[in-house]
Structure 1
Amino acid sequence: MLLVGLTGGIGSGKSTVADLFAGLGAGVVDTDLLARELTEPGTPTLARIVAEFGPGLLQSDGNLDRAQLRERVFADHAARTRLEAILHPPIRALMLERATRLQTPYALLVIPLLFETGSESLVERVLAVDCPQAVQIERVRRRSGLSETQIARIMA
């Protein structure tokens, strides 16, 4: 199976491109979705995040308060580094596990931080999605309701 790494910034159109390839029969493993799965209530990864950042990051129903975590880690580089150290190893392991189960001639591994995590060594080709920054900001604002300041922190 040919593995293609799909990467790009927030709001660049990665999900749209992945959906187009899926419609053509490609397997898709999206690491953003894996991160959500790995941080569901009761998971070891969520427990590690809470141990590192405190129980205040949990909502009353036990779900991760993603907005609060986002504010913390994008305002503090050291906190972001600690979070990535918790998240990236299990995401990578689950991504590889899911990719090996695919029965398709080629598969897209959607990895926003492909180069930053050294994941380019796992794929045979890289497809980068890009668009003007103003388009990215507008897309993210529409889908998430984040302010331009918050989006700028994420994009930095």
Structure 2
Amino acid sequence: MNQRRASAPRIGLTGGIGSGKSTVAALLASAGAAILDADALSRESTASGGAAIPLIAEAFGPEFLDGDGALDRARMRSLVFADPSARARLEAIVHPLVLRGIAERTDTALQAGARLLVLDIPLLVESGHWAPALDAVLVVDCRTETQIERVMRRSGMPRAQVQSILDTQASRAQRRAVADAVLFNDCISLAALDDAVRTFARGFGL
């Protein structure tokens, strides 16, 4: 049985859409890191029956729930575009629930003997909430054109739609400005990326 660990380094992993962040998270997991997915916890809280649903209905109105009782993401996205303050109001509901979920999963990972905790946070820079909880930030970066091509290829979205998503996210420069380490995932083989990930992980005890 693994002995309970009182602590382990906490790394924030982030990157824009199409950067390859999910691939890096999987490589970190294969290297032995415990991955804590903030986005999955957020989706869980806003799914039908999720803890955020009653609060969202109260704050925004029941029309922001879909027929299944989950957050109507398309309607909320439109509201956020029209009223930027809506994002802060939604985050004020969802973020504490995500933090609670992260804390619970952190405890479970530490009890299992985790030596490195990786918090997978797509909007780490945009939210501004996470810095106090992290020991370092790892940014997955690539050229904007590469992001667009990857997303178009995997999703079938038109270029304009992908660009509109990119326009709502932090810029590459903004992410790199908060990074303690950057993995440039462009014109690189999976094997070379894995080597870079494992070199990074060794710096934190894996």
**Secondary structure class of the residue paired with 2:97:** helix
Q: Pick closer, same or farther for the CA change 1:139–1:72 going to 2, 3 Å.
A: farther
Question: For the residues of structure 2 that align with 1:148 and 1:118, how far apart are their CA atoms?
Answer: 26
Question: For the residues of structure 2 that align with 1:149 and 1:72, how far apart are their CA atoms?
Answer: 19
Greater than 6 Å deviation, 4+ residue runs: none
> Is 1:97 aligned to residue 104 of structure 2?
yes
The two structures have a TM-score, normalised by structure 2, of 0.67
Question: For the residues of structure 2 that align with 1:149 and 1:11, how far apart are their CA atoms?
Answer: 11
Question: Structure 2 counterpart of 1:124, which letter?
Answer: D
Q: CA RMSD in A?
A: 2.2
Q: Pick closer, same or farther for the CA change 1:56–1:150 going to 2, 3 Å.
A: farther
Q: How many residue pairs are counted as aligned between the two chains?
A: 156
Question: For the residues of structure 2 that align with 1:12 and 1:145, how far apart are their CA atoms?
Answer: 16
**What residue number does 1:150 align with?**
164
> Is 1:11 aligned to residue 18 of structure 2?
yes
Counterpart of 1:45 (choices 52, 61, 64) is 52
Structure 2 gap ranges (5+)? 1-7, 171-206
Question: For the residues of structure 1 that align with 2:116 and 2:17, how far apart are their CA atoms?
Answer: 24
1:9-37 deviation per Cα after TM superposition (whole angstroms, max 9, x unaligned): 23322211101111222110011100011
1:8 and 1:130 in contact (8 A); partners too: yes
**What residue number does 1:27 align with?**
34
**Secondary structure class of the residue paired with 1:127:** strand
Counterpart of 1:129 (choices 136, 140, 144) is 140
Structure 1 gap ranges (5+)? none
How many angstroms does 1:154 deviate by?
2.3
Question: For the residues of structure 2 that align with 1:143 and 1:49, how far apart are their CA atoms?
Answer: 29
Rg larger for: 2
Show the 5 A alignment for 1:58-73. 58-73=65-80
Question: For the residues of structure 1 that align with 2:97 and 2:73, how far apart are their CA atoms?
Answer: 18
Question: For the residues of structure 2 that align with 1:15 and 1:143, how far apart are their CA atoms?
Answer: 15
- Structure number with the bigger relative contact order (C-alpha 8 A, sep ≥ 6) is 1
1:140 and 1:151 in contact (8 A); partners too: no
Q: Pick closer, same or farther for the CA change 1:145–1:48 going to 2, 3 Å.
A: farther
**What residue number does 2:131 align with?**
120
Q: Pick closer, same or farther for the CA change 1:75–1:140 going to 2, 3 Å.
A: farther
How many angstroms does 1:61 deviate by?
2.0
**Secondary structure class of the residue paired with 1:42:** coil
Question: For the residues of structure 2 that align with 1:139 and 1:151, how far apart are their CA atoms?
Answer: 13
